[in-house]
Amino acid sequence: MAVDLHRFANPTRFLRLVSAIFPWAAGLTVILLGTGLYLALFVSPEDYQQGDTVRIMFVHVPAAWMSMGVYTMMAVSAAVGWIWKHPVADLSGKAAAPIGACFTFLALVTGSLWGQPMWGTYWVWDARLTSMLILFFLYLGYMAVWESFDDQSKAAKAAAILVLVGAINIPIIKFSVDWWNTLHQPASVATMEGPKIHSSILTPLLVMGVAYLSLFTTIFIVRVKAEILDRRLRIMQVNALQE
Amino acid sequence: MEEFLNMGGYGAFIWPSYGISFLILAFLVVLSFRRLRRIERTLKPLEQDRRARRRRPAKRENATP
C-alpha cells in the first residue's frame, strides 16, 4: 500500500503530525543522551593507543554524522520544494540549517581538540578538514540567502540552488580520507566490511549517534513549527496591508 | 574523582569538547524555543481578530434575509 506523502504537504496537517511526535522525540533524546554519556564517560574503556582522548570521539563523530545527514536532508527537501512547490519542504530546509551548522561547528571544534593531543596540531589544511570547513560555510551561505530576500519564494529558490550545488561536497567529505593523504583516520564504522571498532567502544558511539539524531528531530520540530507559523504571519500581514 | 577529571592527562582536551558541545546545543534549544514563542505570541491576536471578522459578516447575512 502506497503512503500518500502529499497529504503531509498541507502545513496544518504537518503541524499536527510533528506536534504529536514532539514529546516522544524529546523524551527519547533525554534517555539516549543520559545513557550515551554514562557509557561514554564511565563504562567504555580507554583506547590502547589514544588513551582517554578516544572519549572525544563520542561527541565528535555523531556531530560529524549529523552535519552530513542534515545537509543531505536539506538537499532532498530543496529538490522536493523546487519540483513540487511544497512550502513545507522549503521551510524544512530553512528550519534544519542552523541545527546542521551547529553540528558542523562542533565536529570541527571537537576534532581540533582531539587533533592537538593525537596529531600534535589543532588544524591542518588537508582534504577532510578543509571539506568540513566548506560544509560549514555552505550552511552559513544558505542561511544568509534566506535572510537576503524579502520575497520568501525567491529566497527558497535561491537557497535551493545553493544547497543542491553544494551537495557535491557531501561525497567529497565522505571519501576524502580514501582519495587523499590525510591525518584523519579512514572510515571505521560505515565500511564495506562492517565496523572495525570493538563493541565496547562502538556501542556508546552508536547510542550517542541515535541520541544526536533524536536531538535533531526535537529541535527540528520546534524550528519547523516556528517557520510555518512565521509564514502564516507574513501572509496575514500582507493581507492586512491590502485591506 | 580527581583521577576521573584528569582523564589520563587529557582532561584539558576532553572536558572542553563535552563542554562546548553542551553549551552550543543547549543554546540552540533555548533560541529555537524562544523564536517559536515569539512568533506564536505575535500570531495569536491576529488569528483571533481574523476569526472574529469572519464571524461578524456571517451574522449580518442571517439578520437580513
Q: What count of other Cβ atoms lies within 10 Å of the Cβ of residue A98?
A: 20
Q: Which residue has the higher pLDDT, A239 or A39?
A: A39
ipTM of the predicted structure?
0.88
What's residue B54's pLDDT? 78
Per-position b or e across A53-88, b if 16+ CB within 10 A of its CB = bbbbbbbbbbbbbbbbbbbebbbbbbbbbbeeebbb
- DSSP single-letter state for residue A50: T
A185: which DSSP letter?
P
Q: Which residue of A has its CA nearest to B15?
A: A56
- CB of A221 within 8 Å of a chain B CB? The answer is no
- Compute the distance between CA of residue A55 and CA of residue A58 in angstroms, rounded to an integer: 6
Rounded CA separation A31/A146 (Å)? 35
pLDDT at B9: 78
Low-confidence ranges of chain B (pLDDT < 50): 65
Closest-CA residue of B relative to A51 is: B8
**Among the listed ranges A2-6, A68-72, A121-125, A144-148, which one has the minimum average pLDDT value?**
A2-6
Quick count: other Cβ atoms within 10 Å of Cβ A97? 24
Among B24, B28, B43, whose Cβ lies nearest the Cβ of A232? Answer: B43
Grid cell 502564516 is found at: A232
